Amino acid sequence: MSDTGDTDDTGKGGTSFFGPATGVGSMPGGDAREAAKTVTGSFEDFPFLAELPARGPGADMIGRTIGMLVDLYAHVEPSGWRISDRPGRDTKRARSWLGEDLDALEEFTQGYEGPLKVQAVGPWTLAAALELRGGEAAVGDAGACRDLVGSLAEGLRAHLAELAKRIPGARIVLQLDEPSLTAVLRGHVRTASGYRTYRAVDRQVVESALRDVIAAHDGPVVVHSCAPDVPFALLRRAGVTGVSFDFGLLTERDEEPIGEAVEAGTKLFTGVVPSTDGPLSDPGGSVMGVRTLWRRLGLNPGTLAESVVVTPTCGLAGASPAYARAALAHCARAARSLADNPE
């Protein structure tokens, strides 16, 4: 694998930058060292910085990302995270836990060279979740959204620089978690009262904000959504290198955008392994749907391994520790099956 990876037309790094399988982000439990040990042991060629939301507010994906923001602070209310005037206990706790997770990952990646994924909440899911002082979500206020985008981009630059300093051999892949993106685009985000929804945000505004945050990283950026109707075309225009999604939620209308994405060089992070406890099929069976989709789209089976990264359907925070370990190992075996038997 080259030092920088191939370059696609977005300039964000191409297909050789990734390993064959990885996780989505969250893991069960609250032991950072155990999580880092599991992740690095499961994915020797594409580990990720684990998130442990079971520790409480500040370790959840929203709180963790709020802890990265620059000159924007928030605290926990019964309804969720709300903007504050200054950093308080909740923000400090989020930063402390992130530091603990970085320490653990650094310990288990000594001498590592290769792709390494780190996750943060994207601007639109953050805007849908973060409350302004009056209790309404930031997504309803265009000025607040612009401030959030700028703060997030600056915070991510600092976070990625810290990660690069700790693990100098890593080629960092940034994943932006955007499960609320489709709801924002369709005007389905509910107001504080729950009786109405915020107006849909214009697609060009959504795309522009994503582009600004993506520009914070000079390497590959993947957007993850475990919701239905992922806007593949919009994400491609915004400049993502890859899209991460729950493969089981795809419908026929997704097939054309996916085919166009593959032909344009977009990497598909296909969530095919269940993220909560249950029986696991054989590894080849887990990726059978991906092979079938490739045939339906008329794509060359030989491109499967270079176009697809195998992942769980979503984060594993709701799984038992034993199942989480089994699911990650299963992803790695399923990816090998895809590479060895693409047809």
Question: What confidence tens digit (pLDDT) does each residue in 155-209 have?
Answer: 999 999 999 999 999 999 999 999 999 999 999 999 988 889 999 999 999 999 9
pLDDT of residue 310: 97
Instruction: Kindly tell me if the per-residue pLDDT of 17 is higher than 70.
Output: yes
Q: What is the pLDDT of residues 35-60, one digit of tens each?
A: 999 999 999 999 999 999 999 999 99
* pLDDT above 90 coverage of the chain, percent: 89
Q: How confident is the model at residue 4 (pLDDT cuts 50, 70, 90)?
A: very low
C-alpha span between 211 and 79 (Å, rounded): 30
C-alpha span between 161 and 158 (Å, rounded): 5
Strand partners, 172: 116
pLDDT of residue 194: 82
Burial pattern 205-217, b for ≥16 Cβ within 10 A else e, equals: ebbebbebbbebb
Count Cα atoms within 13 angstroms, Cβ side, for 295: 8
C-alpha span between 40 and 142 (Å, rounded): 40
pLDDT of residue 2: 31
Instruction: Kindly tell me if the per-residue pLDDT of 12 is higher than 80.
Output: no
C-alpha span between 23 and 304 (Å, rounded): 19
Q: How confident is the model at residue 241 (pLDDT cuts 50, 70, 90)?
A: very high
C-alpha span between 129 and 205 (Å, rounded): 18
Instruction: Kindly tell me if the per-residue pLDDT of 269 is higher than 70.
Output: yes
pLDDT of residue 16: 57
Residue of 288, 274, 266, 271 lying closest to 337 (CA atoms): 288
